[in-house]
Structure 1
């Protein structure tokens, strides 16, 4: 069932042609499984013969000082300051959009060193499908720059449980991970859901409550 969903979406995206690379956001709340889905979608697209580029969202965070300027536990701070979406627009989505240079930034930040990265660019084939996965991709300033958005939907409690299990070691154990999600990550996602209604606005919606048995809720055509 998962393979069918991935190949169905890949087949649809492979038929979508613009005068520029097709800019596709893979959106969803924390813990829903965006990164894994995006990697598997890249593989499914490659099988169609269409060029595909996956831009790693880890390279588009703000520096630590900016990320935590509203406090390490702030939900609003995570929602507003975690990602450098201005750089995503100016250095990736606009160059890959209508009339753009097709030279995009592969990253603007190094998470390991917390250093700003300048000049790490690459050319993009004009007919490529470009994938970028992250939370909050349908905030106001970003929406006009996506050609398609795949939204992975899961109940907040289900996604949070997966996120806690995934990040427990990184966050200092299950209890600390649950506290971090409750106070910062899941809380930020609730802000996003309330303010932006991403499930309603996405062009493609996938029910991802069970990653082994997802299904397409909505897709054009």
Structure 2
């Protein structure tokens, strides 16, 4: 079993032991690997017979006029004005009823005060912020120049992540932190007392917190 397989097995067991419906957040910086991890987890759960709904915060954006009212290249506009959390709650989080399956939502800023108490299990995908820039350059190369990507990251997304860490301490709020600098060999730690909870059990790997996002 590879390290990533072991991680996914831990996550599957954590979700299976929750009372359903289960709302699962996969948070982390842009280009950290959130969507990939959420998709892999969803596929494994479906393979074990669990009905899974997948959603992403990026489907719940405010209109551009609101998103960029404070300026396009500011941390505040990215953190405060990008996503419509009320609509996410109304259309995705609130409709779940007892007996429903698993909802997995990926996206940035999912452990902010407006959302942190909505999750039965929260996973934070931690990556060195400079590493996300290089990943983004590769990912967005078909549509953007390196200079454009680097500007968006260094003037908007990364300052917004630093603001998020200062305001909300997401790695302290998450139940599980996945250290994903090497996606093939991730490490993970239980946070927020999760390892002592009967419904969120498992051994932790690499107990030192990642320094990259601090």
TM category (shorter chain) comes to: 0.7 to 0.9
Which ranges in structure 1 are unaligned for 5 or more consecutive residues? 97-101, 103-124
Q: 2:8 aligns to what? A: 6
Instruction: State the partner residue of 1:204.
Output: 176
Question: Cα 1:52–1:62, aligned 2, differ >3 Å: closer, same or farther?
Answer: same
Alignment of 1:153-164 (within 5 A): 153-164=126-137
Q: With the length of structure 1 as denominator, give the TM-score of the two structures.
A: 0.81
Task: Give the C-alpha shift of residue 34 in structure 1.
Answer: 0.7
Distance 1:168 1:83 in 2: 25
Structure 2 unaligned residues grouped into runs of 5+? 196-200, 202-214
Give the TM-score taking structure 2 as reference length: 0.83
> Contact conserved, 1:11 with 1:48, CA < 8 A, in 2?
no
CA distance in 2, matches of 1:78, 1:168: 22
Distance in 1 of aligned mates of 2:69 and 2:17? 43
Superposition deviation, residue 47 in structure 1: 2.2
CA contact (8 A) 2:68 2:77 kept: yes
1:1-221 aligned at under 5 Å gives the runs: 1-18=3-20, 21-96=21-96, 102=97, 126-170=99-143, 172-218=144-190, 220=195, 221=201
Q: What is the rounded CA distance, in whole Å, between the counterparts of 2:14 and 2:150 in structure 1?
A: 37
The Cα of 1:11 is off from its aligned counterpart by 1.9
Q: Tell whether the 8 Å contact from 1:94 to 1:145 is kept in structure 2 after alignment.
A: no
Contact 2:56–2:107 (CA<8 Å) still a contact in 1? no
Name segments (4+ residues, structure 1) moved above 3 Å: none
Native 8 Å contact 2:57 2:88 kept in 1: no
